[in-house]
Chains A and B, each alone.
Chain A
């Protein structure tokens, strides 16, 4: 199984709502990532978890809160978002060998988020 799944596919939320995005993989990958992608732009890294611990936070606003409850799951909790946070949110996973390997990332299909 080389699939990364993301739910929901689409999400519309108001600025006062709290919602969560979910990502799951069963490839045994111990590195998982959240990216934000605006239209016609490359993915922007938000967070990286390695071995269920947060290893990279790219100065993301606190209204985005990641969580890695186990080695297969990655969540992104959303609270008090702004309209400019509307984007495609991509999850990815890879083997966890930062020191020296050619591990590619496997991406999910993304969650299209609209903040009203």
Chain B
């Protein structure tokens, strides 16, 4: 069965530092890939999604993700963290042919002043 692994349940970075949140998926056939952000007591908001033809995907709020098929990874980055980036981040996959979205366990990002 398809699975998603997010390494690091908590990540702390200084304001202005690089943000790197890791996501690996388990299938040899790339599923549909997504990153969502969740602020406290809110729903999930899409940051970006992978579509074929572009290994580097740009999203909202300055976030990017790079799809690496050989590493089955879809890591999320942002060059310079802002205090407002503090939130929970979820990587999600949707295997082809299904409506079932599978979420990783999440990474809580803390931004230090």
Contacts and interface: CB of A to CB of B under 8 A. Distances in A.
Interface of A: 4, 31, 33, 40-43, 45, 48, 50, 55-56, 88, 90, 92, 94, 96, 98-110, 112
Contacts of A98: 97-99
A47 B101 CA distance: 11
A107 B103 contact: no
A105 B101 contact: yes
Contacts of B96: 99-100
A57 to B, nearest CB: 11
A46 to B, nearest CB: 11
A67 to B, nearest CB: 18
A83 to B, nearest CB: 20
B76 to A, nearest CB: 15
A42 B99 contact: no
A88 B103 CA distance: 16
Given A99-B97, A107-B43, A109-B43, A43 B49 contact: no
